[in-house]
Structure 1
Amino acid sequence: MSTRRWFRLPDHYEVGREKIREFARAVQNDHPVHRDDECARKLGYFGVVAPPTFTAILTVNGIRAVLNTVLPDRDLSQVLHAEQTFEIHRAVVAGDRLRCAVQIASIRSPADTDFVALRFVVTDQSGYLVRVESTTLAIRRGELVRPDIARLVDTVAMRGDGDRTPSLIPITAADLPTSTSGPYRGPDVDTVPRADHLAVGHALPPRSARLTRGDLVNYAGVSGDPNPIHFSDAAAEFAGLPTVVAHGMLTMGVTAGYLTSWLGDPTAIRTFGVRFSRPAEIPARAAADLELTGRIRALGPDTATVALDVRAAGEQLFSRAFAEVQLSATTFE
């Protein structure tokens, strides 16, 4: 099939105040700007601010739409996240109405797996750019998926969508924003660390997080990700996994919360990207503990590049993880 075609989801997504709170709880991000209106107003926003990876909700809908309409021979239960990058152009705030366009950028097919690269462009109600996301999926080819897998997915997958299968509307590149940044970016950031107080090699304080099966089920519901490998042992086994595994976007969301807890301002992330090396395995009768660390790799006058590391049971979950962040200017008394 030809690639580099653009599509858009047919309807806008209206960002709700309670949805932001639900998502923040799901990714274990306890910053008050995600739940308290007054705190958000003090930072200069008119409503509660969504966590950095909130637009993964739109990405999930886009992926489902691509699989259902453009790549119908691929099965959701055979999908694993390989890479994900967020370019953050402004904060998402309660009341925003977001639209999402998606491009199938490329498809590579070594051995029995397709690597599908997607590009998402998220804009707001005024047409300004909010996010640009790059996603790479690893998908076992449909013809190699056993019929019993399809039957299992039909048995355990979420019901209730009826005929409301996500669809796509073809568009052209001319329908996309012509500028990579709109005139509104939001208030200046107010970070705890200042560039002149940091040095290359500076280590962020380590942090631990815990994931249970309940956390996975909750995130699946909040994000709209119906992939059964995140809650069904049988589906995980059929997909060649040793047990149920955490969503890549859940571990990425937890990592973003770790980073913003150090920054003190959840709107200070400009770019956040990871290459997934293995999913976090979540046993049926125990929790999985994540160990998160970070280190400054580069510094600019008011920016920093942070290398991040997340491990579960001693195993590295990301082969590469980085964030480019904006830092507050130093104030002189």
Structure 2
Amino acid sequence: MTNDRRLVGRWFRLPDHYEVGREKIREFAAAVQNDHPVHRDDDCARKLGYLGLVAPPTFTSILTVSGIRAVLNAVFPDRDLSQVLHAEQTIETHRAIVAGDRLRSAVTIASIRSPADTDFVALRFVVTDQSGCVIRTESTTIAVRQGQEVRPDIARLVEAVARQGAGDRPPRLIPVTAAAEPQVATAGPYRGPDVDTVPQADRLAVGDVLPPQTARLTRGDLVNYAGVAGDPNPIHFSDAAARFAGLPTVVAHGMLTMGLAAGYLAAWLGDPTAIRKFGVRFSRLAEVDAEAAVELALSGRIQAIGPDAATVALDVRAAGEQLFSRAFAEVQLSRATPE
């Protein structure tokens, strides 16, 4: 088994920038069922103070997927992608991502823990814009199962989907020197226009609940998200791969369910750019049968409140079971205008 722990603590970058396109924003918003007009209507984006369409809160999962695949190629080249599960994700936003941005992504392997038969790999991502400013910092933990041979048929599935989404070359990591390591501490507070939220800080209280909402996912939704996000893990579309991974059936992407939760929160806020930090610990995968949609129940509750901000606890369930053992968002809020 290959497990190169010498890479722990070092910074790497992905070899090319990612240019954010208007249509990609629209495609991604549709894939996570986020219909807020700021993601598809230029006039709405301008009214909020942005020069172009605003990307949904979990948009950078497109970069995260490439980074994870590159880390796996470097550290665990003997593992099959179907042996990988997303365990935890936290996104901190320093400014909104808009159409026309040119993003670069750097990643460090923070740690590798190997209890029992699973390697838990903690990653830290830093996303910068065309000016070199930090606009996103993300923490990701993946669980990689040990002791399974790579199956050629599943490897071919991964390669076929990856070619469609990201070109023929597998993602790779380029080491960066200590002098070029991202300076996360300089990211500073959020940079962007003031938020314009429907709920107002001085009219909310701890314990207030958000209106519940439901969402439905079909196999078609999973295939669409896999293509849009560039995630070729076959457990999300192949019954054979799901069984190989020890799952009863095909399961939804963790980042897809996180995207649904972000859209639910954004709809309540009325301003998606008000989400400053969003974290999820995945505890269960939403199973999606071939012939029936799975219904997800989304809800939330105010956990803490400040003069112009709040912490919201989120809950997403499938068949009555929690998909997240922990899910929270730190949001910026408008205050009521004095009458």
Normalised-by-shorter TM-score class = over 0.9
Residue 264 (structure 1) shift: 0.3
CA contact (8 A) 1:27 1:254 kept: yes
| SS in structure 2 at match of 1:242 | coil
| SS in structure 1 at match of 2:260 | helix
Question: Partner of 1:53 in structure 2?
Answer: 58
Structure 1 gap ranges (5+): none
Residue in structure 1 matching 2:219, options 210, 213, 222 = 213
How many residue pairs end up in the alignment? 329
| SS in structure 1 at match of 2:279 | strand
Question: Partner of 2:328 in structure 1?
Answer: 322
Question: Partner of 2:306 in structure 1?
Answer: 300
Question: Partner of 2:281 in structure 1?
Answer: 275
Greater Cα offset, 215-224 or 156-165: 156-165
| SS in structure 2 at match of 1:117 | strand
| SS in structure 2 at match of 1:185 | coil
| SS in structure 1 at match of 2:45 | helix
Question: Is 1:156–2:162 an aligned residue pair?
Answer: no
CA contact (8 A) 1:67 1:75 kept: no
CA contact (8 A) 1:20 1:49 kept: yes
Residue in structure 2 matching 1:114, options 116, 119, 140 = 119
Calculate the TM-score normalised by the size of structure 1.
0.96
Residue in structure 2 matching 1:27, options 32, 54, 57 = 32
| SS in structure 2 at match of 1:204 | strand
Calculate the TM-score normalised by the size of structure 2.
0.94
Residue 24 (structure 1) shift: 0.1
Question: Partner of 2:250 in structure 1?
Answer: 244
Residue 174 (structure 1) shift: 3.3
Structure 2 gap ranges (5+): none
Question: Partner of 1:62 in structure 2?
Answer: 67
Per-residue CA deviations over 1:4-23 (Å, capped at 9, x if unaligned) read 11100011000000000000
Greater Cα offset, 76-85 or 181-190: 181-190
Cα distance in 1 for residues equivalent to 2:323 and 2:226: 19
Residue in structure 1 matching 2:16, options 11, 22, 26 = 11
| Gap change, CA 1:178 and 1:195, over 3 Å in 2 | closer
| SS in structure 1 at match of 2:55 | coil
Residue 134 (structure 1) shift: 0.4
Question: Is 1:171–2:176 an aligned residue pair?
Answer: yes
CA contact (8 A) 1:33 1:49 kept: yes
The 5 Å alignment of 1:83-232 reads 83-141=88-146, 144-147=147-150, 150-159=151-160, 160=163, 163-175=168-180, 176-177=182-183, 179-181=185-187, 185-232=191-238
The 5 Å alignment of 1:36-51 reads 36-51=41-56
Q: Which amino acid aligns with 2:314?
A: L
